[in-house]
Amino acid sequence: MGGPLQGLKVVELSAMGPAPHAAMMLADMGAQVVRVVGPAPPVGGYDVGTHLQRGRTTVRANLKDPDDLAGVLGLVASADVFLEGYRPGTTERLGLGPVECLALNPRLVYGRMTGWGQDGPLARHAGHDINYMALTGALHAIGPAGRPVPPMNLVGDFGGGSMFVLTGILAALWERERSGLGQVVDAAMVDGISVLSQIILELRSVNMWNDTRAANLLDGAAPFYRTYETSDGGHVAVGAIEPQFYALLIDGLGLSLAELPDREDPRQWPALEEILTAAFAARNRDDWADVFDGTDACVTPVLTYAEAAENTHIAARGALSGSGRHVVAAPAPRFSRTAPVAREPQGETDFESILSSWRAS
């Protein structure tokens, strides 16, 4: 087992979305993570054997059964981290709330992952990634002028969710080294998405961003920061913000800077976009990839997930492995001495076997 978190013991209450994603990363980095799942496979396939469940041991438990609940509490008593992703009040009703768990194990870091947070008017209401993004302003800013477009669930569930509960857990573990005490980490997607939006909020504060969609530097309005369709129906991504990179873009397209509309004047962006659109439409995606390969023009082909796994740079890094529909991500980030390892799911076991293993480690 590799990774810098070797020896860390984690109890994960099986859930959907960001909590298991955070648990996967903890396991990748070497933590001993035990997933507590219900007695029957849950709806949606979030069970043993999926890539998202890699690296963890699974124990089945009916949390309404006193013996099974006692088994989970036995794990909690020996754990460093407890991670749950239920609506507020759920673990309290099950007898696994922060009060019970921290009384049993004062050094425990209790991670709570929700969309709305543990308090506030919406705390106990249902929601999904798209809803949490909607109330933060982030969803309104993404997409073409006609309507907002959800960026899958990357911004809410994982960017604003699992990354923040993971950060909170690691910060609380560091603080525990000084205080000797654990604490509760309240990670809410609405909070995390808002932090991710800080640079946009900063730009708004100095009148460099407005709330009109597709009208700003980084939202597809600027002709030098957007995607273009190629002759084969593919696309290329252009990020030539700096003047020196823009000059290389124009040179690669066979155009003349002196003959183009002024890119510094947003009023001329539509005319410039029309010219660049026509230029990129003249050749296919992979031709343009060859033209700009090895340059600093900031032009890259837009790849599918299957194609990404075959890309020379992604392959050299080993960031993705597999092909077609069976592509998985390697652990990240990387460490110079304690390399993370993506291990297969460790199968099912029982409470006593887990505790024996933990006592021996």
Nearest to 224 by CA among 281, 262, 197: 262
Q: Is the peptide bond prior to 333 cis by the omega test (within 30 degrees of 0)?
A: yes
Six-digit token pair at 238?
Answer: 């252009």
Number of Cβ within 10 Å of residue 175's Cβ equals 14
Tokens, residue 276: 């660049």
The dihedral over CA atoms of 122, 123, 126, 131, expressed in degrees to the nearest 10, equals 60
CB neighbours of residue 210 within 10 Å: 11
| Secondary structure class of 341 (helix, strand, coil) | coil
Q: Given 3-state DSSP classes, what are the helix, strand and coil percentages for the chain, each rounded to the nearest 5? A: 40, 15, 45
Structure tokens at 137: 């302003």
Alpha carbon distance 117, 119 (integer Å):
6
- DSSP β-bridge partners for residue 322: 327
User: Which alpha helices (DSSP H) does 282-349 contain, by range?
Assistant: 285-292, 305-308, 312-317
Provide the annotated active-site residues: 128, 157
Q: Are strands 32-37 and 9-13 parallel, antiparallel or unpaired?
A: parallel
Residues 6 or more apart whose Cβ sits within 8 Å of residue 311: 303
Cα gap 227→205, rounded to integer Å:
27
CB of 11 closer than 8 Å to CB of 75: yes
- Tracing tokens 């990240």 back to the chain, one arrives at 332
